[in-house]
Amino acid sequence: MQVQQNVSLKQYNTFGIDVTAQSFASFSSLDELEALTEYKQELSSINKISPLLILGGGSNLLFTKNVDGLVLKNELKGIELVNEDADYCYVKASAGEAWHTFVEHCIANNYAGLENLSLIPGNVGASPMQNIGAYGVEIKDVFHELQAYNINEKTIVKFSNAECKFGYRESIFKNEVKGQYIILNVTYRLRKNPLFNTSYGAINTELERMGAKELTIQNISQAVINIRTNKLPNPKEIGNAGSFLKNPQVSKFRWHVIWEEYPDVAAYKVDDLHYKLAAGWLIEKCGWKGFRRGDAGCHAKQALVLVNYGGASGQEILDLSDEIIKSVKNKFGVDLEREVNII
């Protein structure tokens, strides 16, 4: 176990924000994790370090200041088929596996259900925390269970689908038990016989452009990869965390007020009383798409993505998001919430 002091976290977050961790270490086994959490508690008892931050792929957070505490990088690895029945394969992946690597593994083995979630940045451990989703599919649709380490009790606990309390980019790990558990692995229930989901219009269009002669999970995955590559900036080239703000749900009345003035409003009906609006459309209508101030900006191809062109601070990006949220509220009477975690 090696704990380093005053370590830059620039390479560990996809925004590329250069902040410093007071203490930093990585773990690739349960024994190392237990030793590090014990180390953290010993230091806390003498008031040297109290906060604990677990880092995965660093793809859904924004650092606005240095981290005065212990940062642990989750590097648990491993993918295995743990069970199967007539219809499903149950595949377990360790939390430190890169998400897209795991998706590629499943597609190569004809495990269906994750193809629409191709090329999402980050690690497996973050997938249930955020209930990640894209192109008509969310983690809750394929999630079976996970194992997590209770930091205070030093026990391993299983969480079922229901116990995770999944919501739109939400779970129990972002709310009631935030900071109490470290996710070790996640098991997904994937289909042997796929149920294709191409309801998102761009997928069908891309499949046609590709000249795909049959519908397969491999073709859908490639279509999603093509769409994301064309529309979203590569974090290795331009710092970003993907979608920065959530698509808001509004009342039917609010949707109708907006629709009367903007018949092209990007929205879909949730139920008889609610509609979900495309946050990117709202932001673009407020004139932010392609906006840049210094090195903080709003991406030119997707207004939902805030970017760091190289030297922006986390606070500058956060301030920009505040301005965007206020402008959408003033213009449309709609409240936007951040999807990215602010540190």
CATH number of the domain within which 46 lies? 3.30.43.10
Q: Determine which one of 169, 228, 313, 321 is catalytic.
A: 169
SS3 261: helix
Q: Does the active-site annotation cover 339?
A: yes
Contact 286, 245 (CB under 8 A): no
63-82 mean pLDDT: 94
How many domains, in total, are found in the chain?
3
By mean pLDDT, which of 139-143, 199-203, 223-227, 250-254 is the weakest?
199-203
Domain termination residue (choose one: 74, 94, 114) = 74
Query: Which is the catalytic residue, given 97, 115, 145, 339?
Result: 339
Candidate list 127, 243, 313, 321, residue with the active-site label? 243
Residue 45: CB atoms within 10 A of its CB come to: 9
**Which of 49, 74, 99 delimits the end of a domain?**
74
Examine residue 297 and state whether it is found in any structural domain, yes or no: yes
Model pLDDT for residues 213-232, shown as the tens digit of each residue: 899 999 999 999 999 998 88
For 25-91, the DSSP string reads EEESSHHHHHHHHHHHHHHHHTTS---EEEESS--SEE--S-EEEEEEEE----EEEEEE-SSEEEE
Q: Which amino acid is at 37?
A: T
User: Do 274 and 312 lie in a common domain?
Assistant: yes
- Helix, strand, coil percentages, rounded to 5, for the chain: 30, 30, 40
> What CATH number does residue 288 fall under?
3.90.78.10
Are residue 55 and residue 103 in the same domain, yes or no?
Answer: no
Boundary (domain end) residue, out of 74, 106, 128: 74
Give the global pTM.
0.87
Shared-domain flag, residues 306 and 332: yes
Catalytic annotation on 191?
no
**Residue 98 within any structural domain of the chain:** yes
CATH code, domain with 100:
3.30.465.10
pLDDT of 41 over the 70 cut: yes
Give per-residue pLDDT as tens, 128-157: 998 998 888 999 999 999 999 999 899 999
Domain annotation covers residue 224: no
228 within domain boundaries: no
Residue 161 forms part of a structural domain? yes
Asked whether residue 86 falls in the same domain as residue 59, the answer is: no
Domain that holds residue 172: 79-191
Residue 219, domain member (yes or no): no
In a domain, 210, yes or no: no
Residue 211 belongs to some domain of the structure: no
> Active-site residue 243, yes or no?
yes
